[in-house]
Amino acid sequence: MSLSRRKFTKEFKLAAVRRLEMGASIAAVARACEVNPNVLHRWRREFRDGVDRAFPGLGKKKGEDSRIAELERKIGQLTLEIDFLKSVLQRVEEARMLQALNRTAPSTNKSPKKQNGKRP
C-alpha cells in the first residue's frame, strides 16, 4: 500500500516559519504541524533565501522551470505534428507517382484488339 504525498499550502508553510521566527522550537512546531523537523528546516531556508520566491505553490515549479517545461511540451507537440505531416506527404507523393504511372503505361486490362474483324 503506497502512501500519497501530503501537500501543504503556501499559507500553512508561512505560518509554520513565522512560528519558528518568533522563537518556537523546531520540535514544538514540527509536532504541532505534524511534519518532520527536516521539512521545517527546508521551509525556513527557502523563506530566508527569498520571501517573494518561497513556496511557489502546490507542486508548481518556479518560474524558469515552468517555462522550460512549457517549451518542452510545445516541442513535443510540434514534433508529433511534423511526423504526422511527413507521413501524409509521403502518402500523397506515392499516390501521385502511381497516378502518373497509370497514365503513361499502357493498360493491360483491355481485351486484345480485333484484326480484320477476327479475334486472335
pLDDT at 8: 85
Domain ranges of the chain: 7-59, 61-104
CATH number of this structure's domain 7-59, picked from the four choices 1.10.287, 3.30.420, 1.10.10, 1.20.1300: 1.10.10
Tell me how far apart the alpha carbons of residues 68 and 74 are, in angstroms, rounded to a whole number.
Answer: 10
Across 4-8, 48-52, 97-101, the highest mean pLDDT is recorded for: 97-101
The residues facing 99 across adjacent strands are: none
Tell me how far apart the alpha carbons of residues 15 and 29 are, in angstroms, rounded to a whole number.
Answer: 10
pLDDT at 105: 59
Per-residue pLDDT tens digits for 38-88: 999 999 998 888 766 677 665 555 667 778 888 999 999 999 999 999 999
Per-residue pLDDT tens digits for 65-78: 778 888 999 999 99
